[in-house]
Structure 1
Amino acid sequence: MTTIGINTLVYMDALRNGTPQSELLATIAAHGITLAEIRREYIADDAEYDAIANAAAQQHMTLFYSVPESITVNGEPNPQFEQYLDEAARMGARNVKFNQGDIKDVDTTVLQRIDNQAAARNLTLSIENDQTPHNGTFACTQASLDHITTNGSTIGYTFDLGNWYWRDENAQQAFNRLVDYITVFHLKNVNGSQDKSQLATTMLQDGVIDWQPMLDRLSASIPVFLEFPIPAEQVAEQVDIVRHAIAHS
């Protein structure tokens, strides 16, 4: 059965109030969730990497790691690429997600180096369509994934359902055309506002995206992460909605 994960962005209020992500893992586990995605931008100090690793071990959790940086820059791996991988390995994470950068244009040897450096740490990698014009359009995402596949790289793809709206792209069409590349699914819904200043995520049952049929088309091996801010008192409800959708997919 599909594994449900929680990205710590779900607890945005706690993160903004300075709650360490290591402390959030027990809260996530209390919902019966054993998969969590840690966000690098909310790691306050070096000691937190070990604290996260210890908390994950105590809760018997699997970790993914979200790094809001480009995987490649100017045709080469990000200058801090190996540092990011080492951080993930230190926490015991399984997967590291990056922005696309210019990976659609890099040489095959660069892809091979990236794959080898990840494999040496027992890590898998993925790139994401984010909300920016450089890393979030359908055209650049398709080109990146085609280049990765053509060159035999093992880099996967995190499909972020809501982000397409910030780029005026059709989320359903993007899903239809990219579904075979997906290795991780970031689930959220949006209000669909044409005014970008008013565009926002919603609770899953309240937005404009018909997301449930998409889950039906995903392999059970693809984890589905809740990845949007949720009031603490509504997290259990949102998890239950996804569980129900998966059970009936």
Structure 2
Amino acid sequence: MTDAVDVVIVASAFGMDAVRQGGHLKWAGASKQAGAAAFEVRRELFAHEADVAPQALSALGKSIAGLGLWSVYSTPASLYTSDGHLDAGALRLALDEATAFGARFVKLQLGGFATEAHGAAIADHLRGASVRLVVENGQLAEGGSLAQFIGLFDALAREGHTDLLGMTFDIGNWAWRDVAPLDAAGPLAAHVEYIHCKTAVGEGARRFPAAPAVGDTQFAAVLDTLPRHVPRGIEFPFDTNRIDADAAHYVTWLAAA
């Protein structure tokens, strides 16, 4: 029998409106009840800008930790601007907020990375930080291409910053870029520190995140290719008619998959 891994429930799995109305702490509690090890807070789901003030984030983080959960702080901001420069302001803000919150990981989108990683500048921002920086493959062409991620880690290695940051590998998001996730898993596995678990249904722009189907051999093959020990996040929507049962079912399944 394989060892269970930590399962994270991403706040959006409970529904964006539900999180904005009920607050993250309510759904962190539901995640604990479901058996999750951690909870991912989404900056875009805070109802008010005052919710991301340092004192508010600190209080929320302590309350979530009090439930016995560790946490991820996710922001839709990008690490690189459209012209390939480091977005130092976005990185600094994300680090400050994630630190106040007490997160284990801070997750950004990759954005417009081109050829230079600006590793020394990133290292300066990360110096003394207690949170691990990870970048996620998104659904847009900018920040969602396999070539960009291969290029990023190659550039970091050239600049002497191999272990500076890690990757959140979103299995479902590759569908928006017409990339088979298994084709991406091999080249990127060494850099993956967190996995967003979902598949996609539909075609073209009319694609939607969904739970992996029972017997989805491609999804299983991707998990087998990626590191076994890294946490797995549930980012597909739960059935609103049976949220608690759905959450518990998928936590149990994903921990052992």
Find the residue that maps to 2:34 and give its secondary structure: coil
Q: Root-mean-square deviation (CA), in Å? A: 2.2
Q: Which residue of 2 aligns with 1:34?
A: 37
Find the residue that maps to 2:160 and give its secondary structure: coil
Q: Are the counterparts in 1 of residues 35 and 252 from structure 2 also a CA contact under 8 Å? A: no
The answer to whether residue 219 in structure 2 is matched with residue 217 in structure 1 is no
Q: Are the counterparts in 1 of residues 190 and 227 from structure 2 also a CA contact under 8 Å? A: no
Give runs of aligned pairs for residues 1-249 of structure 1, distance below 5 A: 1=3, 2-12=5-15, 14-15=17-18, 18-43=21-46, 44-47=48-51, 48-73=56-81, 74=83, 75-106=85-116, 110-153=118-161, 154-191=164-201, 193=202, 195-205=203-213, 210-231=218-239, 232-233=243-244, 234-245=246-257
Distance 1:82 1:235, change over 3 A: same
What whole-Å deviation, never above 9, does each CA across 1:23-44 have from its counterpart, x for those lacking one?
A: 2111111112121111111123
Q: CA deviation at 1:105?
A: 2.9
Q: CA deviation at 1:12?
A: 1.3
Distance 1:207 1:119, change over 3 A: farther
Distance in 2 separating the partners of 1:197 and 1:104: 25
* AA of the residue aligned to 1:100: L
Distance in 1 separating the partners of 2:125 and 2:217: 37
Distance in 2 separating the partners of 1:180 and 1:213: 16
Q: Are the counterparts in 2 of residues 69 and 99 from structure 1 also a CA contact under 8 Å? A: yes
TM-score when normalising by structure 1? 0.87
Distance 1:208 1:243, change over 3 A: closer
Aligned length, in residue pairs: 241
Q: Are the counterparts in 1 of residues 77 and 90 from structure 2 also a CA contact under 8 Å? A: no
Q: CA deviation at 1:181?
A: 1.9
Q: CA deviation at 1:50?
A: 3.2
Distance 1:93 1:138, change over 3 A: same
Distance in 2 separating the partners of 1:77 and 1:45: 21
Q: Are the counterparts in 2 of residues 104 and 145 from structure 1 also a CA contact under 8 Å? A: no
Distance in 2 separating the partners of 1:209 and 1:55: 38
Distance in 2 separating the partners of 1:14 and 1:225: 20
- Mind listing any 5+ residue stretches in structure 2 that lack a counterpart? none
* AA of the residue aligned to 2:91: F
The structure 1 segments of at least 4 consecutive aligned residues displaced by more than 4 Å after TM superposition are: 206-209
Distance in 2 separating the partners of 1:181 and 1:128: 11
* AA of the residue aligned to 1:87: E
* AA of the residue aligned to 1:24: W
- Mind listing any 5+ residue stretches in structure 1 that lack a counterpart? none
Q: Are the counterparts in 2 of residues 82 and 117 from structure 1 also a CA contact under 8 Å? A: yes
% of aligned pairs identical? 23
